[in-house]
Amino acid sequence: MDIARPKEVATLPVRALSLAERVWRASKLVFGVSGSLLVIGNIALLLLPVPHLHLCLFPLAFILGPLLGYFAWRDRVVFGRGEVPCPKCHEPVAVPDGTHGYPARFNCPCGIRLELKPAA
Ligand SMILES: [Zn+2]
């Protein structure tokens, strides 16, 4: 059996993200995550005199925010609503809202993980 061949081929609506949309999605994550962690770190520093919390949250804010922003930047497509047949149980499985990027992965209720890749 050829493992590289897909077991099922399905057609789904996919919207390609423009450069501005990708930058906006990445910026929201970078500033949202980093900003939230900085605010939490400052409030925690004022309320709890625990220097360890302060020392851990600030580097985490400056690493986690850009890292998540990079992952959002990598996503070039957003999936629309659709269903794909499960290769194991053959039941239609709805693609979850907000699924983005290739390979898209989500679970079937029967317990296996579905992976969507673009057709070559
Ligand atoms: Zn299934």
Residue 47 alpha carbon to ligand 1 centre in Å: 49
Cβ-based neighbour number of residue 66 at 10 Å? 16
What pLDDT, in 10s, does the model give residues 36-85? 999 988 888 888 877 787 788 889 999 999 999 999 999 999 988 888 88
Residue 65 alpha carbon to ligand 1 centre in Å: 35
Q: How far apart are CA 69 and CA 77, in angstroms?
A: 15
The model's pTM is: 0.72
Residue 7 lies in a domain: no
Binned at pLDDT 50, 70 and 90, residue 1 comes out as very low
Query: Are 23 and 64 in the same domain?
Result: yes
Residue 2 lies in a domain: no
Q: Residue 28 belongs to what domain range?
A: 17-76
Residue 85 alpha carbon to ligand 1 centre in Å: 8
Task: Residue 75: name the closest of 6, 4, 12, 19 by CA.
Answer: 19
Question: What is the count of structural domains for the chain?
Answer: 2
